[in-house]
Amino acid sequence: MESLLAAELQSLGAESVTEKRAGVAFRGPLSCAYRACLWSRIANRILLVLARFPASTADELYEGVRSIPWYEHLDAKNTIAVEFHSSRSAITHTHYGALRVKDAVVDQLRERTGSRPSVLTTRPDIRINAYLLKDEATISLDLSGDSLHRRGYREEGLSAPLKENLAAAILVRAGWPEIASGGGALVDPMCGSGTLPIEAALMAADIAPGLLRAYWGFPAWKQHDPAAWDLLLEEAGSRREQGLLQLPSIRGYDHNPTAVRAALMNVEQAGLHGRLHIEKRELEDCAPARPDDHGLLIANPPYGERLGADTDLPALYTRLGNTLKDQFQGWRAAVFTGNPPLGKRLGLQATRVHNLYNGPIPCKLLHLEIKPERYLSSRRTPAPLPAGTRGEGATMFSNRLRKRQKHLRRWLQREGISCYRLYDADLPEYAVAVDVYEANKRWVHVQEYEAPKSVDARKARIRLREALGVVLEVLEVPEDQLFFKIRQKQRGKSQYGKLSASKHFHEVPEGGHHFLVNFEDYLDTGLFLDHRITRRLLEKLSDGQDFLNLFAYTGTATVYAAAGGARTTTTVDMSNTYLEWARRNMQLNKLAGSQHRYIRANCLEWLKKTTDPHRYGLIFLDPPSFSTSSRMEGTFDVQRDHATLIHQTIRLLKPGGILIFANNRQRFRMDHDALSGLQIEDITPSTIPADFERNRKIHQCWRISLPKTDNQ
């Protein structure tokens, strides 16, 4: 906050402003120090430096303090308090250091006047600040008397309230002064005891933050200038009256009635009754006062204390992000978080990030623009409906999930399967696929099949929210371990299009191997569960073979082939992201080595042009249904182009070698006439796992080879 404070002090007329460690130094007349006390929204304290001297011992500290002419600053009748801090110095005991400073002041005045000042820790007449850094003492008078964040309006607060000067810094960083001057509005959907809305109002109405304070550190100081101070108070009062006439719309909401009561009381104490609006509202119901309002949404979500369990927080951030997108299109937002990783749950890309501290807690201020192009994902998770608000259909869905769990349990245990499909649109009203990934945690990946336009969108949304609530309940997972996508027909570049940028990978087991999955960034997770048996087949066929994996995606088939004893593997994909993912999967299974090659290329072009001397004994070919890319000419359609693709691939097959060809085009028909001369066996039924038995068209799979000759 030092740079903010430096800029603020310059605007108040300070001279020679210099940023220091955890503070700012400046020069100016006494009126400038008074103005800083009254008007600084950022500072904690205003300290008037009296002396600096070496103090590596308690005696040096005592003598240095005693050399200051304290009789020029206070009388023996005054009360005093000493605040002592030490950093990287020999004197580390702060209470002992404070006692030595107090003794030096008291002894000097007793020797001079025959009496001594008394100590009063609460609201003393004079507060002395002593700071040791590398054995050098800085002794100051605390003109502010008490921390300037205590504005005088907070009568009641919740646990861990946001300090007023930190709230002001957040608002300045968020650009609120400029937004307010342009007539913009402010909304805080989690206002707590109202600190951010009140500070925003003080700022927008040009009200001095210290105007309500009844206690200062200078009225009893001998060098105090009452006339200069009174003049500043008079000016501040006049500016307040004028500023209140131009106050923009400022609204604070909170779902907690205790917080709302505290906020209303603080608004009253701040003299802002009727000037800003505080109301109890659920997060989803927060909205601008008028549809055409624009401005700043500011929020300081709880760090865990107010909600209790940390597992509640991911859902809260998701709900906040949904509210931003639903109600505040075109607005700017600033979210101050003590739990930065959860910022991604907002589903918005931050345009800037500032690092700040809330006491000892490192925090980040995320600056957001509420525009569709800033969304991390166009598919965000709707808020799950709790049990008491669901309809009768949700009970049927719950029963179906439990029945499927029971049906699959023995099979999962027998086969050692921990990643599987639990539910696949068994009930037409709940058209979702539910995949479960078990490792050190249980993650659930829910995909909604895009509803036709004939289905009422509102009813479909409610059923989806019911389904998500049931999934969380039945599978006993916290909301941050549930991930949601919409499954729609994929065309062109959208097949593996990026939805987010979390880069969160989780390790899961399958078939005695381990794989990295990502639930957030792409439509698919990196592990096609329906090809579990196909991968096992490749593992059985791979011993001693040279293996080629085309359209390799994340290289899961390569892992199985290498683990099955393949002599070499060649993994080809157009995406550098997926090739790197494939490398990581191989390394995870301790299968790295020069015998494993990774080629970044458009498989269609690579097959046409390759002069690769390798001739492969086993090839896995699993192309997309449709593809187009800036790195390829034209388009690829698996139905139209599969015969050509297979012929090109067969050229690389050794005599007696095997090509496993698969795709997930449901209405795909193999062109046997165009592929005459090849031995083609449809092995689809044997490659569909039990957890996909309801959707046996999830993929199609063939075993293809060259016909044997008399010499074979």
Q: How many residues does the chain have?
A: 712
The pTM (predicted TM-score) of the whole model is 0.58
pLDDT at residue 8 greater than cutoff 70: yes
| 585: nearest Cα among 561, 607, 604 | 561
Instruction: Give the architecture-level CATH label for domain 2-142.
Output: 2-Layer Sandwich (3.30)
Q: What is the pLDDT of residue 305?
A: 45
Could you report the per-residue pLDDT of 606-630, keeping only the tens digit for each? Answer: 999 887 767 899 999 999 998 765 4
For range 109-119, the mean pLDDT: 94
Determine the pLDDT at residue 360: 86
Q: Residue 53, by phi and psi: left (phi above 0), alpha (psi -120 to 50) or beta?
A: beta
Residue 694: pLDDT band (50, 70, 90) is confident
Residue with tokens 């096992």: 536
Q: Angle of helix 195-204 relative to helix 164-173, nearest 10 degrees?
A: 60
> Taking residues 559-574, what's their average pLDDT?
97
Predicted pLDDT of residue 380: 56
Q: Can you give the pLDDT at residue 385?
A: 85
Could you say which of 3.20.20.80, 3.40.50.150, 3.60.70.12, 2.60.40.1730 is the CATH number of the domain covering 506-705?
3.40.50.150
Work out the percent of the chain whose per-residue pLDDT is above 90. Answer: 78
pLDDT of residue 461: 82
DSSP-derived pairing of the beta strands 546-550 and 616-621: parallel
Interior/surface letters 237-263, b for 16+ CB within 10 angstroms, e for the rest: eebbeebbeebbbbbbbbebeebbebb
Q: Is 492 or 371 the better-scoring residue by pLDDT?
A: 371
Residue in 96, 16, 90 with CA at minimum distance from that of residue 49: 16
What are the structure tokens assigned to 61, written together? 């500290």
Per-residue pLDDT at 157: 54
Question: pLDDT at position 486, please?
Answer: 82
* Residues 422/691, Cβ–Cβ less than 8 Å: yes
Which DSSP state fits 71? G
Q: Exposed/middle/buried for 75, CB within 10 Å: 0-12, 13-18, 19+? A: middle
State how far the Cα of 455 lies from the Cα of 475, in Å rounded to an integer.
Answer: 28
Q: Give the model's pLDDT for residue 631.
A: 47
Evaluate if residue 158 carries a pLDDT over 60.
no
DSSP for residue 680: E
Question: What is the arithmetic mean of pLDDT over 259-263?
Answer: 94
The residue assigned the tokens 């399967």 is 417
563 backbone dihedrals φ, ψ, rounded to 5°: -70, -25
DSSP 388: G
Give the span between the Cα atoms of 214 and 220, in whole angstroms: 14
Give the alpha-carbon dihedral of 377, 381, 382, 386, to 10 degrees.
-170
Res 132: pLDDT: 96
Q: What is the CATH number of domain 387-488?
A: 3.30.750.80
Residue 281: name the closest of 327, 339, 312 by CA: 327
All residues at 6 or more sequence positions from 388 whose CB lies less than 8 Å from its CB, including other chains: none
Confidence at residue 373, expressed as pLDDT on a 0 to 100 scale: 66
Angle, CA 687 vertex, CA 401 and CA 678 arms, to 5°:
155
- Distance CA(144)–CA(152), nearest Å, equals 13
**Beta strand 118-119 with 79-87: parallel, antiparallel or unpaired?**
parallel
Per residue in 647-671, pLDDT (tens digit) is 999 999 999 999 999 999 989 999 9
Beta bridge pairs of residue 53 = 137
**pLDDT bracket for residue 491 (50, 70, 90):** very low
Q: How confident is the model at residue 502 (pLDDT cuts 50, 70, 90)?
A: low
pLDDT of 434 above 60: yes
- The CATH architecture that domain 164-204+245-374 belongs to is 3-Layer(aba) Sandwich (3.40)
Predicted local confidence at residue 629, as pLDDT: 53
Per-residue confidence (pLDDT) for residue 374, from 0 to 100: 67
Place of tokens 């309006």: 153
Compute how many other C-beta atoms are within 10 angstroms of the C-beta atom of residue 172.
19
Cα distances (Å, whole numbers) of residue 628 to 27, 523, 640: 66, 17, 14
d(CA 232, CA 634): 74
- Choose among 209, 94, 101: nearest CA to 153: 209
Q: Is the pLDDT of residue 236 over 70?
A: yes
Q: Alpha-carbon distance 141 to 125, whole Å? A: 11
- The answer to whether 480 and 315 have CB atoms below 8 angstroms apart is yes
Token pair for 446: 């829910």
Same fold, 164-204+245-374 and 387-488: no
User: Could you tell me the strand order of the sheet in which 432-438 lies?
Assistant: 419-424, 432-438, 442-449, 482-487
What does the pLDDT read at residue 80? 97
**Mean of the pLDDT values across residues 687-704?**
94
Q: How far apart are the two ends of the chain, measured CA to CA in Å?
A: 79
CA distance 97 to 352: 43
pLDDT at 492 over 50: no
According to DSSP, residue 692 is labeled G
pLDDT given at position 458: 76
Q: Which two tokens mark 75?
A: 């009388």
Residue 83 pairs with which residues in a beta bridge?
129
User: Which 3 state secondary structure label does DSSP give 571?
Assistant: strand
Are the CB atoms for 636 and 604 separated by under 8 Å? yes
pLDDT tens digits, 377-412? 544 567 788 888 888 999 999 999 999 999 999 999
Where do the domains of the chain lie? 2-142, 164-204+245-374, 387-488, 506-705
298, 176 Cβ separation under 8 angstroms: yes
Closest CA to 421 of 528, 330, 521: 528
Pairwise CA distance, residues 423 & 461, whole Å: 19
Instruction: Locate the DSSP E strands across 105-165.
Output: 118-119, 126-133, 136-142
Q: What is the mean pLDDT of residues 542-563?
A: 97
Separation between Cα atoms, residue 707 and residue 693, nearest integer Å? 33
Q: Residue 156: pLDDT above 90?
A: no
Encoded amino acid at 145, one letter: G
Whether 710 has a pLDDT exceeding 70, the answer reads no
Closest by CA position to 125, among listed 197, 221, 31: 221
Specify whether the CB–CB gap between 650 and 706 falls below 8 A.
Answer: yes
Largest CA distance in the chain: 123
Containing 25, the helix (H) or strand (E) segment is strand 23-27
Mean pLDDT score, 154-173: 83
Closest C-alpha among 74, 165, 58, 86 to residue 127: 74
Could you tell me how many helices (H) and strands (E) the chain has, helices first?
Answer: 18, 29
Question: How are the residues of the chain apportioned to helix, strand and coil, as percentages rounded to the nearest 5?
Answer: 35, 25, 40
Alpha carbon of 321 to those of 326, 359, 370, 558: distances in Å? 9, 26, 9, 39
Give the bridge partners for 337, in sequence order: 364
Partners of 702 in beta bridges: 661, 682
Q: How far apart are CA 16 and CA 28, in angstroms?
A: 8
In the block, which residue shows the tokens 């709302």? 260
Looking at every residue in the chain, the average pLDDT score rounds to 91
